[in-house]
Protein backbone atom coordinates (compact mmCIF):
# COMPACT_ATOMS: atom_id res chain seq x y z
CA UNK A 1 0.00 0.00 0.00
CA UNK A 2 1.55 3.30 -1.04
CA UNK A 3 1.39 5.49 2.01
CA UNK A 4 3.67 8.12 0.57
CA UNK A 5 1.86 11.03 2.10
CA UNK A 6 3.70 10.67 5.41
CA UNK A 7 6.09 11.77 6.67
CA UNK A 8 5.30 14.97 4.87
CA UNK A 9 8.47 16.70 5.97
CA UNK A 10 10.55 14.51 3.67
CA UNK A 11 8.58 15.68 0.66
CA UNK A 12 8.16 19.35 1.50
CA UNK A 13 9.08 22.14 -0.84
CA UNK A 14 12.84 22.24 -1.29
CA UNK A 15 13.29 23.52 -4.85
CA UNK A 16 11.49 26.11 -6.93
CA UNK A 17 11.02 23.97 -10.05
CA UNK A 18 9.13 20.92 -8.82
CA UNK A 19 5.37 20.56 -9.22
CA UNK A 20 3.63 20.99 -5.88
CA UNK A 21 0.22 20.22 -4.43
CA UNK A 22 -1.89 23.15 -3.19
CA UNK A 23 -1.74 23.93 0.53
CA UNK A 24 -4.12 21.60 2.34
CA UNK A 25 -6.06 21.24 5.56
CA UNK A 26 -6.00 17.93 7.39
CA UNK A 27 -7.42 16.25 10.48
CA UNK A 28 -4.36 15.11 12.43
CA UNK A 29 -3.57 13.31 15.67
CA UNK A 30 -0.32 12.88 17.55
CA UNK A 31 -1.46 10.43 20.25
CA UNK A 32 -4.12 7.77 20.52
CA UNK A 33 -7.14 8.64 22.64
CA UNK A 34 -10.77 9.77 22.47
CA UNK A 35 -11.27 11.21 18.95
CA UNK A 36 -12.95 14.38 20.26
CA UNK A 37 -9.88 15.04 22.44
CA UNK A 38 -6.93 14.12 20.23
CA UNK A 39 -8.00 15.30 16.76
CA UNK A 40 -7.01 18.71 15.45
CA UNK A 41 -7.57 20.43 12.08
CA UNK A 42 -4.30 21.90 10.78
CA UNK A 43 -2.76 23.46 7.68
CA UNK A 44 -0.52 21.14 5.66
CA UNK A 45 2.27 22.56 3.50
CA UNK A 46 2.42 21.74 -0.25
CA UNK A 47 4.21 18.50 -1.18
CA UNK A 48 6.04 17.53 -4.32
CA UNK A 49 4.09 15.62 -6.98
CA UNK A 50 6.51 12.93 -8.19
CA UNK A 51 6.67 11.63 -11.75
CA UNK A 52 4.20 8.81 -11.21
CA UNK A 53 2.17 10.54 -8.49
CA UNK A 54 -1.31 11.96 -8.62
CA UNK A 55 -2.54 14.89 -6.58
CA UNK A 56 -6.23 14.53 -5.78
CA UNK A 57 -8.69 16.90 -4.20
CA UNK A 58 -10.87 15.06 -1.71
CA UNK A 59 -14.59 15.43 -2.40
CA UNK A 60 -16.04 13.36 0.43
CA UNK A 61 -14.90 10.96 3.15
CA UNK A 62 -16.95 8.96 5.64
CA UNK A 63 -16.39 8.85 9.39
CA UNK A 64 -16.40 5.08 9.89
CA UNK A 65 -16.33 3.18 13.19
CA UNK A 66 -12.93 1.77 12.15
CA UNK A 67 -11.56 5.33 11.73
CA UNK A 68 -12.60 6.10 15.30
CA UNK A 69 -11.06 2.81 16.50
CA UNK A 70 -7.76 3.65 14.75
CA UNK A 71 -7.67 7.02 16.48
CA UNK A 72 -8.48 5.38 19.83
CA UNK A 73 -5.59 2.97 19.20
CA UNK A 74 -7.71 -0.19 19.40
CA UNK A 75 -7.64 -1.17 15.69
CA UNK A 76 -5.00 -3.71 14.62
CA UNK A 77 -3.63 -1.58 11.75
CA UNK A 78 -2.92 2.08 12.46
CA UNK A 79 -0.85 4.83 10.85
CA UNK A 80 2.41 5.79 12.55
CA UNK A 81 2.35 8.68 15.02
CA UNK A 82 2.80 11.59 15.45
CA UNK A 83 1.05 13.74 12.83
CA UNK A 84 -1.08 10.88 11.50
CA UNK A 85 -3.79 12.05 9.11
CA UNK A 86 -7.11 10.39 9.99
CA UNK A 87 -9.58 8.79 7.58
CA UNK A 88 -9.29 5.65 5.50
CA UNK A 89 -11.85 5.84 2.72
CA UNK A 90 -13.25 8.53 0.47
CA UNK A 91 -13.97 9.92 -2.95
CA UNK A 92 -11.52 12.25 -4.68
CA UNK A 93 -11.09 14.11 -7.95
CA UNK A 94 -7.79 14.14 -9.83
CA UNK A 95 -6.35 17.65 -9.50
CA UNK A 96 -2.85 17.31 -11.02
CA UNK A 97 -0.62 14.57 -12.42
CA UNK A 98 3.12 13.98 -12.32
CA UNK A 99 5.03 14.09 -15.60
CA UNK A 100 4.95 10.28 -16.03
CA UNK A 101 2.51 8.29 -18.15
CA UNK A 102 -0.40 7.26 -15.91
CA UNK A 103 -3.89 6.02 -16.67
CA UNK A 104 -5.70 8.97 -15.10
CA UNK A 105 -6.74 12.46 -16.23
CA UNK A 106 -7.50 15.68 -14.38
CA UNK A 107 -11.16 15.64 -13.32
CA UNK A 108 -11.42 11.83 -12.94
CA UNK A 109 -13.21 10.65 -9.82
CA UNK A 110 -11.18 8.10 -7.88
CA UNK A 111 -11.18 6.15 -4.63
CA UNK A 112 -8.10 4.91 -2.73
CA UNK A 113 -7.70 1.27 -3.69
CA UNK A 114 -6.99 -0.49 -1.46
CA UNK A 115 -8.27 2.01 1.13
CA UNK A 116 -5.37 3.71 2.91
CA UNK A 117 -4.52 6.23 5.58
CA UNK A 118 -5.08 9.95 5.37
CA UNK A 119 -8.34 10.70 3.58
CA UNK A 120 -9.53 13.41 5.98
CA UNK A 121 -7.68 16.19 4.20
CA UNK A 122 -8.37 18.49 1.31
CA UNK A 123 -5.50 17.43 -1.02
CA UNK A 124 -3.50 14.17 -1.12
CA UNK A 125 -0.43 13.17 -3.15
CA UNK A 126 0.10 9.45 -3.72
CA UNK A 127 1.28 7.14 -6.50
CA UNK A 128 -1.23 6.79 -9.34
CA UNK A 129 -1.49 3.06 -8.60
CA UNK A 130 -3.02 3.85 -5.19
CA UNK A 131 -6.22 5.09 -6.87
CA UNK A 132 -9.11 3.42 -8.66
CA UNK A 133 -11.24 5.34 -11.13
CA UNK A 134 -14.86 5.35 -9.96
CA UNK A 135 -15.96 5.63 -6.41
CA UNK A 136 -18.26 5.54 -3.45
CA UNK A 137 -18.42 4.12 0.04
CA UNK A 138 -21.15 2.16 1.71
CA UNK A 139 -22.83 1.50 5.00
CA UNK A 140 -22.38 -2.11 5.87
CA UNK A 141 -25.58 -3.22 7.55
CA UNK A 142 -28.00 -1.66 5.07
CA UNK A 143 -25.95 -2.87 2.12
CA UNK A 144 -25.46 -6.45 3.30
CA UNK A 145 -29.22 -6.93 3.68
CA UNK A 146 -29.93 -5.55 0.19
CA UNK A 147 -27.11 -7.54 -1.42
CA UNK A 148 -28.20 -10.72 0.32
CA UNK A 149 -31.72 -10.22 -1.06
CA UNK A 150 -30.39 -9.65 -4.57
CA UNK A 151 -28.42 -12.90 -4.36
CA UNK A 152 -31.19 -14.84 -2.58
CA UNK A 153 -28.91 -15.40 0.42
CA UNK A 154 -30.56 -15.93 3.79
CA UNK A 155 -29.19 -13.56 6.40
CA UNK A 156 -28.87 -13.87 10.18
CA UNK A 157 -32.57 -13.04 10.64
CA UNK A 158 -33.38 -16.67 9.97
CA UNK A 159 -30.27 -18.51 11.20
CA UNK A 160 -31.61 -18.99 14.69
CA UNK A 161 -34.68 -20.78 13.33
CA UNK A 162 -32.67 -23.25 11.28
CA UNK A 163 -30.66 -26.32 11.97
CA UNK A 164 -27.12 -25.30 11.24
CA UNK A 165 -25.80 -22.11 9.76
CA UNK A 166 -22.83 -19.79 10.05
CA UNK A 167 -22.85 -16.58 12.03
CA UNK A 168 -20.32 -14.17 10.54
CA UNK A 169 -19.21 -11.38 12.88
CA UNK A 170 -17.90 -8.31 11.07
CA UNK A 171 -18.26 -5.53 13.65
CA UNK A 172 -17.95 -5.00 17.39
CA UNK A 173 -19.57 -1.63 18.13
CA UNK A 174 -20.35 -2.55 21.74
CA UNK A 175 -16.75 -3.81 22.23
CA UNK A 176 -18.27 -6.82 24.04
CA UNK A 177 -17.59 -10.49 23.24
CA UNK A 178 -19.97 -12.57 21.14
CA UNK A 179 -21.79 -15.05 23.35
CA UNK A 180 -23.55 -18.16 22.08
CA UNK A 181 -25.38 -20.85 24.00
CA UNK A 182 -23.72 -24.25 24.11
CA UNK A 183 -26.96 -25.82 22.90
CA UNK A 184 -26.73 -23.82 19.64
CA UNK A 185 -23.30 -25.31 19.04
CA UNK A 186 -24.28 -28.85 19.98
CA UNK A 187 -27.85 -29.26 18.84
CA UNK A 188 -28.15 -26.70 16.03
CA UNK A 189 -24.70 -27.19 14.50
CA UNK A 190 -24.04 -23.45 14.58
CA UNK A 191 -20.68 -22.22 13.26
CA UNK A 192 -19.08 -18.90 14.14
CA UNK A 193 -16.52 -17.04 12.15
CA UNK A 194 -15.31 -13.51 11.47
CA UNK A 195 -14.73 -11.43 8.36
CA UNK A 196 -12.29 -8.54 7.92
CA UNK A 197 -12.59 -6.59 4.70
CA UNK A 198 -9.10 -5.15 4.98
CA UNK A 199 -7.50 -8.58 5.04
CA UNK A 200 -9.42 -9.50 1.91
CA UNK A 201 -8.52 -6.25 0.12
CA UNK A 202 -4.84 -6.34 1.08
CA UNK A 203 -4.38 -9.88 -0.14
CA UNK A 204 -3.69 -10.77 -3.76
CA UNK A 205 -7.26 -9.81 -4.60
CA UNK A 206 -6.72 -6.19 -5.67
CA UNK A 207 -8.29 -6.77 -9.09
CA UNK A 208 -11.15 -8.79 -7.63
CA UNK A 209 -11.91 -6.09 -5.08
CA UNK A 210 -11.92 -3.42 -7.80
CA UNK A 211 -14.34 -5.53 -9.84
CA UNK A 212 -16.48 -5.87 -6.72
CA UNK A 213 -16.50 -2.11 -6.15
CA UNK A 214 -17.56 -1.51 -9.77
CA UNK A 215 -20.32 -4.12 -9.38
CA UNK A 216 -21.59 -2.41 -6.21
CA UNK A 217 -21.51 1.01 -7.87
CA UNK A 218 -23.53 -0.31 -10.79
CA UNK A 219 -26.15 -1.50 -8.30
CA UNK A 220 -26.15 1.97 -6.72
CA UNK A 221 -26.62 3.62 -10.11
CA UNK A 222 -29.47 1.22 -10.92
CA UNK A 223 -31.15 2.09 -7.64
CA UNK A 224 -30.85 -1.49 -6.37
CA UNK A 225 -28.47 -0.59 -3.54
CA UNK A 226 -29.39 2.36 -1.35
CA UNK A 227 -27.95 3.73 1.86
CA UNK A 228 -28.47 6.65 4.14
CA UNK A 229 -25.81 9.22 4.88
CA UNK A 230 -25.55 12.79 6.09
CA UNK A 231 -23.13 15.17 4.35
CA UNK A 232 -21.43 17.68 6.62
CA UNK A 233 -19.05 20.39 5.35
CA UNK A 234 -15.40 19.80 6.29
CA UNK A 235 -15.45 23.23 7.97
CA UNK A 236 -17.84 21.67 10.51
CA UNK A 237 -15.65 18.63 11.12
CA UNK A 238 -16.09 18.61 14.89
CA UNK A 239 -19.90 18.61 14.55
CA UNK A 240 -19.71 15.61 12.18
CA UNK A 241 -17.35 13.87 14.60
CA UNK A 242 -19.71 14.44 17.54
CA UNK A 243 -22.57 12.99 15.49
CA UNK A 244 -20.44 9.97 14.52
CA UNK A 245 -19.57 9.52 18.21
CA UNK A 246 -23.28 9.33 19.04
CA UNK A 247 -23.40 12.61 20.98
CA UNK A 248 -26.48 13.70 19.00
CA UNK A 249 -28.30 10.37 19.25
CA UNK A 250 -28.67 7.89 16.43
CA UNK A 251 -27.56 9.55 13.17
CA UNK A 252 -26.94 8.30 9.65
CA UNK A 253 -23.35 7.75 8.51
CA UNK A 254 -21.47 11.03 8.66
CA UNK A 255 -19.69 11.94 5.43
CA UNK A 256 -17.33 14.91 5.29
CA UNK A 257 -17.88 17.10 2.24
CA UNK A 258 -14.70 18.91 1.21
Ligand X SMILES: NC(=O)c1ccc[n+]([C@@H]2O[C@H](COP(=O)([O-])OP(=O)(O)OC[C@H]3O[C@@H](n4cnc5c(N)ncnc54)[C@H](OP(=O)(O)O)[C@@H]3O)[C@@H](O)[C@H]2O)c1
Which of residues 66 and 93 has its CB atom nearest to ligand X in the complex? 66
CA distance 225 to 25: 33
CA distance 225 to 227: 7
* Under 8 Å between Cβ of 78 and 87: no
Which of residues 121 and 209 has its CB atom nearest to ligand X in the complex? 209
* Under 8 Å between Cβ of 29 and 81: yes
Which of residues 77 and 81 has its CB atom nearest to ligand X in the complex? 77
Give kind and range of the element (H or E) at residue 237.
Answer: helix 237-244
- Considering the complex, what minimum distance in angstroms separates the CB of residue 92 from ligand X? 19
By residue count, the chain amounts to 258
CA distance 25 to 43: 5
Sign, CA torsion 72/76/79/82: positive
Kind of pairing between the strands at 53-62 and 91-97: antiparallel
- Considering the complex, what minimum distance in angstroms separates the CB of residue 38 from ligand X? 19
Is position 75 annotated as part of the catalytic site?
yes
Residue of this chain nearest to ligand X (CB atom): 171
Q: How far from 25 is each of 3, 85, 123, CA to CA, in Å?
A: 18, 10, 8
- Considering the complex, what minimum distance in angstroms separates the CB of residue 109 from ligand X? 21
Q: How far from 185 is each of 160, 163, 172, 192, CA to CA, in Å?
A: 11, 10, 21, 9
- Considering the complex, what minimum distance in angstroms separates the CB of residue 55 from ligand X? 28
Active-site annotation holder among 75, 88, 170, 215: 75
207 burial level (CB within 10 Å; 0-12, 13-18, 19+): exposed
Which of residues 185 and 195 has its CB atom nearest to ligand X in the complex? 195
Which of residues 150 and 197 has its CB atom nearest to ligand X in the complex? 197
Interface with ligand X (CB under 6 A)? 64-66, 139-141, 170-174, 195-197, 246, 250, 253
- Considering the complex, what minimum distance in angstroms separates the CB of residue 102 from ligand X? 29
Instruction: Give the residue numbers marked as catalytic.
Output: 75
Amino acid sequence: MGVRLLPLAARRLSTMTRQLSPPAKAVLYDDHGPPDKVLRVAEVAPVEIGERDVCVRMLAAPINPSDLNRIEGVYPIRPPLPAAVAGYEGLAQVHALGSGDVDLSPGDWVIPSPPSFGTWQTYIVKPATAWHKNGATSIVGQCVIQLAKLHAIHTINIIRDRQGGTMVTYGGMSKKPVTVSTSSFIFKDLSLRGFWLQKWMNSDKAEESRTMIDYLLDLVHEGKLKYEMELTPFSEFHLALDKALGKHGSRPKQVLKF
